[in-house]
Amino acid sequence: MKVRGKVWKYGDELDTDVIYPGKYLVTFDPTEAGKHAMEGIDPDFHKKISKGDILVAGRNFGTGSAREQAAVALKSAGVGLVIADSFARTFYRNAINVGMPVLELKGIKNKVDEKDELEVDLDHGVIRNITKRENYPFPAMPPFIMEILKVGGAVPYYKNRIGRE
């Protein structure tokens, strides 16, 4: 599974209110949610991102409330992957559950620049910075997480497993 896109960089401790402001929790429409992704820090984010683009952030991305809508909003906005030094555990699992790839790699924020083009091979554990002609290895994700991502999230994953058993 490969993700290729342009980098959008953000800092440390981005909480779910910044990623998807609480005032929008009244809607359950993923398309509408995508229009408000990152609105708390970058109101024009949804206008400038292209499908597959990659968010790069510092430590503890997705801290705060356990709202699954934060991951849904990013995925619906077109984000192909979030790479951060670390994630709030609940956000990390919510992202996997909705089929949104997330990757921890300490120091990534210092290795890439905004608008660098990356190609991330999740199966083989390598980030290719196409702009800088550099590679950054990372530990491959466990097979069951890759399977969840490949089928689009936890619901389709478990439906497939139930159907097989």
Domain range annotation of the chain: 2-164
In words, the CATH class of domain 2-164 is: alpha beta
d(CA 92, CA 82): 10
The tokens for 63 are: 């801290």
pTM of the model: 0.92
* 77-102 tens-digit pLDDT: 999 999 999 999 999 999 999 999 99
Question: What is the three-class DSSP state of 32?
Answer: helix
Render the burial of 100-120: b for 16+ CB within 10 Å, e for the rest.
Answer: bbbbbbeebbeebeeebbbbb
The tokens for 60 are: 């503890």
The tokens for 17 are: 């209110």
The tokens for 84 are: 């951060």
Mean pLDDT of residues grouped by 10 in the chain (165 residues)?
96 93 84 90 93 97 90 96 96 96 95 97 96 95 93 90 72
